[in-house]
Amino acid sequence: MREITHFIDGASVASTSGRTGDVFNPNTGEVQARVALATPAELDAAVASALRAQQTWALVNPQRRARVMFEFKRLVEARMDELAELLSSEHGKVIADSKGDIQRGLEVIEFACGIPHALKGEYTEGAGPGIDVYSMRQPLGVCAGITPFNFPAMIPMWMFGVAIAVGNSFILKPSEKDPSVPVRLAELMMEAGAPKGVLNVVHGDKTAVDAILDHPDIKAVSFVGSSDIAHYVYSRGTANGKRVQAMGGAKNHGIILPDADLEQATKDIIGAAYGSAGERCMALPVVVPVGRKTADEVRERVLAELETLKVGISTDPAAQYGPVVSAAHRKKISDYIDIGVKEGAELVVDGRGFKLQGYEDGFFIGPSLFDGVKKGMKTYDEEIFGPVLQIVRAETFEEALALPSEHQYGNGVAIFTRNGRAAREFAARVNVGMVGINVPIPVPVAYHTFGGWKRSAFGDTNQHGMEGVKFYTKVKTVTARWPEGAVEDSAFVIPTMG
């Protein structure tokens, strides 16, 4: 049985806790490895290593830190196939999707390669008589990231790429469901030239999370996961004086206006709803056609696409999506489908009975489709996080606009239309953090920022881009004067620059 250990101070470290978690192969349902679950003492060891490393790493000039990022990027790209196969073996997503997971993370590393420019401060010459004012961005110290199972490469790189580039050290607590790729990334960061202790990986459950949130030497915490846990992380972390950005759940809507290219919109919706088995915070599990004619046509087109959708093992190049991550998660999705039926929605396609020949014990679930879903239904109000698409019919543009705007989540939304004025108005008015116009999964590029609204995000700063630089640094402002001649008298009033 393969053992997955912590990575502390540049080396694998066996756990002393005696507690482990099972890591499954979702394709077969078999346990393939056991991952150590840390104690607070083991987290302390990681923090001590990170503290030592950060003191010297912060003194390395930004250009040399950027060179480490360039080399890390090169090493990850050279091992893309190996990393994607490892990721798929623990998560279950198809290989092509795993490569996309890694590539989107690397885009943030590419942004971090330009950190010398991003760290430049502001300068005002002659703000007063002989007085100059300038600002600088300095690292916080030891930072931490708590990441989910659905993107075990991308989201860690979102966090540690920027944090390390600006001069912090970092402790990563990845999901215990698919922890191997985060460990490999840490190993590659060391190979790229980062000093030992700059990036540590500590596995664990709530015990490790609470230890991170309570540790006085951890200055900032970034989190991605469910909204309830995001709120908990934000509340406990900020109560302990930390900076916290905590990204929560989502219920992203796809609005389809009557003038949309329905063929393209339907294909986009299918990919966004069922890709990665729906296990994406930017998935599009709700489609809102405007008008009965549009809704009926969208339904028929979705049904036709579902007949061609192939579910297979993660290494099958013809499969559109693979198994979900665990048996428990498959049951949760199935339970939501049960609830939807009881609530009165029409279950047009039922994926609960799906079995893949030769892989009957794998965590597979077929695509499901509901029609007639209404506001107030539990399955509409909550995040299912599986291959379930819901049709919510709207009669007017205003009704369609209100649905995502009034929902408890505000992560992403998309509108499909040929009408530029309608799209512009929708983007301006919708109460959601990220908007796609004829783009089904509106994840911003790495030099912009990622972040939702309402219960999809807690905290004031988004992930990556310049928002990430701001989150992982503190601003120091210096007002300087170099006097000439005799020493002036003491000043007893606050100076002005007039």
| Residue (of 349, 52, 80, 373) closest to 197 by Cα position | 52
Tokens, residue 32: 């393939």
Contact call for residues 281 and 155 (beta carbons, < 8 A) = no
Give CA–CA dist 55/68, Å, rounded.
17
Tokens, residue 233: 């992380």
DSSP label at residue 309: -
Give CA–CA dist 3/451, Å, rounded.
35
CA 161, distance to chain mean position in Å, is 13
> Beta 473-481 vs 409-410: how paired, if at all?
unpaired
Sheet holding 142-146, edge to edge: 11-13, 6-8, 199-201, 169-173, 142-146, 218-224, 243-247, 457-458
Sheet holding 123-128, edge to edge: 123-128, 131-139, 473-481
Residues with Cβ < 8 Å from 38, sequence gap 6 or more? 6, 15, 17, 202, 203, 204, 207, 208, 211
Between vectors from CA 373 to CA 337 and to CA 323, what angle results, nearest 5°?
35
Helix, strand or coil, per DSSP, at residue 189: helix
- 3-state DSSP: the chain helix, strand, coil percent, rounded to 5? 40, 20, 40
Please report how the helices 95-112 and 80-91 are oriented relative to each other, as an axis angle in degrees rounded to 10: 120
Contact call for residues 414 and 255 (beta carbons, < 8 A) = yes
DSSP label at residue 138: E
Residues with Cβ < 8 Å from 421, sequence gap 6 or more? none
Contact call for residues 392 and 286 (beta carbons, < 8 A) = yes
The residue type found at 60 is: V
Active site residues: 281
